Amino acid sequence: MQDFSNDKSNLALSKFERMLKTNRIFFFDSEEFEEIIYYYLDNGKINLAKKAIDLGLAQHPMASHLQILKVEVLILENKEKEASNLLHFLEENDPQYDEIYIQKAAILSKNNKHKEAIEQLTIALKYTDDLVDVHHLLGMENLFIENFNQAKKHFTVCLDINPDDYSALYNVVYCYEINEEFKEAIEFLNRFLDDNPYNEFAWHQLGLQYKNDKQLNQAIRAFDYAILIDEFFTGAYFEKAKALQSLGEYKNAIENYFKTLQLDDPSAVVFVQIATCYKELNNNKMAITYFLKAVDEDPLLDYAWLMVTELLITEQDFEKALFYIKKALDIDEENIDYLNRLAEIYIQLNLFEEAIEALKKSIYNGENNLIVYLMYADLLHFIGEYLEAVNILFKAKNLFNNDSNIFFRLSGLFFILKKDNKGFFYLKNALQTNPENVLIFKDLFHYYYHREDIQELIQSFI
């Protein structure tokens, strides 16, 4: 954004706006117009920028830099043909003006003609005094066409000229990272840090690459250097905490997560990480506390609602677990995992019809886990809906083929329904498939298990 903090610039802007209000014409030099135009562009005041351009060109018709600003506005307004015509005129009159080729490249890039944009920027490179800017643009165009090695070269030039160019440093590392060249990225960053040892951003990036390469202790060391240089570097504390968490050092991880909360605004992501560490430390109370802090920050974070539910189930507090799983379902009512967990809680609370409804929705939404189908069938069996249980098991049979868990249940249900022929058919199939699973039949159909003719068949397979 253009700096209007000095008296001269402030005076020019005030003078220009006074001119607009009074319709009087004041004279400005071309540099003043340029500052005024940039100020309006940076603040999104396109119409005022256009007025300043028109007045500027009226007073300085040969000022190429004002013509270029007009091109920028035309590009913003998608008037690319007009912009191109003006650039062609400027090139004929001032072929060594680098901004002409930069703006040509901008139009080409906007139309996904990145190779042609690179050609124009290569011309600009011959004439520019701002090598960093043009190399950065060349790097970005090469990123668009996924020519990462060439992009890396351009961003490296930017760094050679200005080692504090964090954007260029990030992009060089990104080029290594996208190709999973983590060791090469580490070597590059270590070389860079040999010459720039107090660059905290480079230490942070080095830590991230060590993490990518599974060198967690080295990553922590790099993050520590970043923190040593800048004790307020929130990102370094956060990444150090994640590395410690991966190493199982949960208490140290929590301390570093807390440090980020001291330095920055509360964050749902940080609260979730703290809660996860407490969960690993088997401190369910604190884990629940911080998962709830996470959803205070982000009520749509359904994962946190689910984790609170899981912990409350562990604590056998099913009433509260029911409350929180419903919170998760309010956000994602078709989530199969949430519906299955809801069904389990209902079962614990002896609310079997509600559990059946939850499982029904789960299957309707695409659940294809055999255990869920079996749970559904067992509940229907429990409440006496035998035919519906059979229908569910047949659906499971179509999905999971010859599974003895299905056959033993179908057998018992057909015996209950007085269809002994089908009962014996599925019992025989189940025993042929997996005779050891006969205990399922014994548990679910105890009366029939001890029937003499059924025992005779069972014994022939054991």
Helices (H), 230-351: 234-246, 250-263, 268-280, 284-297, 302-314, 318-331, 336-348
Question: Can you read off the two tokens belonging to residue 131?
Answer: 């090598």
Residues constituting the chain: 462
pLDDT at residue number 3:
47
Confidence (pLDDT) at 325: 93
**pLDDT for position 105:** 92
Closest CA to 253 of 230, 233, 272: 272
pLDDT at 142: 96
Contact 135, 103 (CB under 8 A): no
Residue 6 confidence (pLDDT): 46
Q: Could you list the pLDDT tens digit for every one of the 462 residues in the chain?
A: 344 444 455 677 878 777 777 777 777 777 887 888 888 888 888 888 888 877 877 778 777 778 778 878 888 878 888 888 888 888 888 889 898 899 889 889 989 999 999 999 999 999 999 999 999 999 999 999 999 999 999 999 999 999 999 999 999 999 999 999 999 999 999 999 999 999 999 999 999 999 999 999 999 999 999 999 999 999 999 999 999 999 999 999 999 999 999 999 999 999 999 999 999 999 999 999 999 999 999 988 888 999 999 999 999 999 999 999 999 999 899 999 999 999 999 999 999 999 999 999 999 998 889 999 999 999 999 999 999 999 999 999 999 987 999 999 999 999 999 999 999 999 999 999 999 999 999 999 999 999 999 999 999 887
Which helix (DSSP H) or strand (DSSP E) does residue 226 occupy? Answer: helix 216-229
Helical (H) or strand (E) element with 367: none
Measured CA to CA, the distance from residue 443 to residue 421 in angstroms comes to 21
- The full set of domain ranges for the chain reads 402-462
pLDDT tens per residue, range 137-179: 999 999 999 999 999 999 999 999 999 999 999 999 999 999 9
CA distances from 257 to 73, 237, 334 (A): 45, 7, 33
CB 303 within 8 A of CB 272: yes
Q: At residue 344, what are phi and psi to the nearest 5 degrees?
A: -60, -40
Assigned token pair, 145: 């066409």
Other Cβ atoms within 10 Å of 437 Cβ, number:
16
Q: How many Cα atoms are found within 13 Å in the side-chain-facing hemisphere of 152?
A: 16
Tokens of 64: 């190429």
C-alpha span between 405 and 283 (Å, rounded): 37
The answer to whether the CB of 138 falls within 8 A of the CB of 101 is no
Residue 370 identity (one-letter amino acid) = L
Are the CB atoms for 294 and 301 separated by under 8 Å? yes
Write the CB contacts of 173 (distance below 8 Å, at least 6 apart in sequence): 185, 188, 189, 205, 208, 209
